[in-house]
């Protein structure tokens, strides 16, 4: 091998290593300072069986995993308030992990006070991190801002003379999950939407007799880091990648899993932007009685 050829190989190798270092640094900077603050607000059509005509096009803003107190969370919360007030949804549904630290409940409260109440109000369940802080103080804060705590209970939402049932459960890891109690007062033919922080509830606690049309969950954060065209290495679910993110078919219902607003440590997102989705209810064409599409 001559000297010129050895030299060109060295130059090529150095160039490749330098490029890899630049790409790696770029990804690290994006993962820490860029992507965690780049909130998406996708509108997702969700087909619901036996949806009453009054609820076709009904829009639910799904907010989850704010994790107030983690790096960057104050800026994200500011942006979240702007999204809540701009999108003009019919209902805001929170599915837990509002805070990561007890001391952050005050900041959360201030932000909640700036959200304009949508026509059908705001409902919530708590997540595991909320229980690891001060869930009693958090519940009082939610109550003060008119946010209905749906832990193992439900209530009707009325629109143009029709109604759907919105209900919730306690957190799977830290509280009691009782779907039967949450739907016990629901009329038999009513559309039922369940809030549950942990999507695994759809596998372990939702059965055909509950007739849940849709479950809304968070908890997984989409894995926070997702390999391009590959899996997310860390998804806190007993069912692997199944409930990482998006609309998922469960044994006895369908689950929308949001990637959430915030992060847990390490406070990084890569190929997994935070989101505040708008779920738009559409008919799936199954006629199950008078008034249903
Ligand atoms: Fe979370």
What kind of architecture, by CATH, is found in domain 38-283?
4-Layer Sandwich (3.60)
Which pLDDT does position 236 carry in this prediction?
97
Q: Which one-letter DSSP state was computed for residue 253?
A: S
The answer to whether the pTM exceeds 0.85 is yes
User: Measured in angstroms, how far is the CA atom of residue 180 from the centroid of ligand 1?
Assistant: 25
Which pLDDT does position 49 carry in this prediction?
86
Which pLDDT does position 72 carry in this prediction?
93
User: Measured in angstroms, how far is the CA atom of residue 188 from the centroid of ligand 1?
Assistant: 33
User: Measured in angstroms, how far is the CA atom of residue 254 from the centroid of ligand 1?
Assistant: 20
User: Measured in angstroms, how far is the CA atom of residue 220 from the centroid of ligand 1?
Assistant: 7
52 three-state secondary structure = strand
User: Measured in angstroms, how far is the CA atom of residue 259 from the centroid of ligand 1?
Assistant: 9
Cα dihedral: 34, 35, 38, 42 (round 10):
160
User: What tokens appear for 277 in the block?
Assistant: 């989705």
User: Measured in angstroms, how far is the CA atom of residue 110 from the centroid of ligand 1?
Assistant: 20
User: Measured in angstroms, how far is the CA atom of residue 268 from the centroid of ligand 1?
Assistant: 13
User: Measured in angstroms, how far is the CA atom of residue 15 from the centroid of ligand 1?
Assistant: 40
Which of 69, 110, 36, 82 lies closest to 261, judged by CA? 36
User: Measured in angstroms, how far is the CA atom of residue 216 from the centroid of ligand 1?
Assistant: 14
Q: Which one-letter DSSP state was computed for residue 73?
A: H
In sequence order, the β-bridge partners of residue 59 are: 280
User: Measured in angstroms, how far is the CA atom of residue 10 from the centroid of ligand 1?
Assistant: 47
Which pLDDT does position 8 carry in this prediction?
62
Q: Other C-beta atoms within 10 Å of 36: how many?
A: 26
Written as tens digits, the pLDDT of the chain (293 aa) is: 566 666 566 654 564 444 344 344 444 545 555 677 889 999 999 999 879 999 999 999 999 999 999 999 999 999 999 999 999 999 999 999 999 999 999 999 999 999 999 999 999 999 999 999 999 999 999 999 999 999 999 999 999 999 999 999 999 999 999 999 999 999 998 999 999 999 999 999 999 999 999 999 999 999 999 999 999 999 999 999 999 999 999 999 999 999 999 999 999 999 999 999 999 999 986 444 333 33
Q: Where are the beta strands (DSSP E) in the chain?
A: 43-48, 59-63, 91-95, 122-125, 147-149, 154-159, 162-168, 192-195, 214-217, 246-249, 254-257, 278-283
């Amino acid at each position: 091998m001559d000297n010129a050829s050895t030299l060109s190989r060295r130059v090529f190798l150095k160039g490749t290593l330098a490029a890899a270092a630049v790409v790696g640094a770029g990804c690290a900077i994006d993962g820490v300072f860029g992507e965690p603050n780049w909130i998406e607000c996708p509108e997702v059509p969700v087909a619901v069986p036996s949806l009453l005509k009054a609820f076709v096009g009904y829009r639910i803003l799904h907010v989850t995993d704010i994790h107030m107190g983690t790096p960057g969370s104050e800026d994200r919360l500011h942006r979240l308030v702007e999204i809540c007030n701009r999108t003009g949804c019919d209902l805001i549904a929170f599915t837990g992990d509002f805070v990561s630290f007890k001391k952050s409940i005050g900041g959360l409260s201030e932000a909640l006070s700036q959200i304009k109440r949508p026509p059908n109000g705001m409902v919530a369940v708590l997540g595991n991190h909320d229980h690891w802080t001060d869930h009693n103080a958090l519940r009082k804060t939610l109550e003060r801002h008119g946010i209905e705590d749906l832990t193992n209970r439900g209530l009707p939402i009325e629109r143009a003379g029709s109604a759907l049932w919105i209900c919730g459960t306690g957190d799977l890891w830290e509280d009691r999950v009782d779907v039967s109690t949450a739907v016990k007062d629901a009329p038999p033919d009513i559309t039922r939407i369940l809030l549950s922080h942990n999507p695994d509830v759809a596998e372990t606690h939702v059965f055909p007799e509950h007739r849940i049309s849709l479950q809304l969950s968070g908890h997984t954060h989409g894995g926070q880091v997702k390999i391009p065209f590959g899996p997310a290495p860390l998804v806190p679910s007993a069912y692997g990648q199944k409930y990482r993110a998006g609309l998922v078919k469960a044994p006895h219902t369908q689950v929308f899993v949001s990637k959430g607003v915030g992060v847990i440590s390490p406070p990084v997102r890569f190929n997994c932007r935070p989101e505040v989705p708008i779920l738009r209810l559409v008919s799936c064409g199954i006629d199950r009685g008078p008034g249903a599409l």
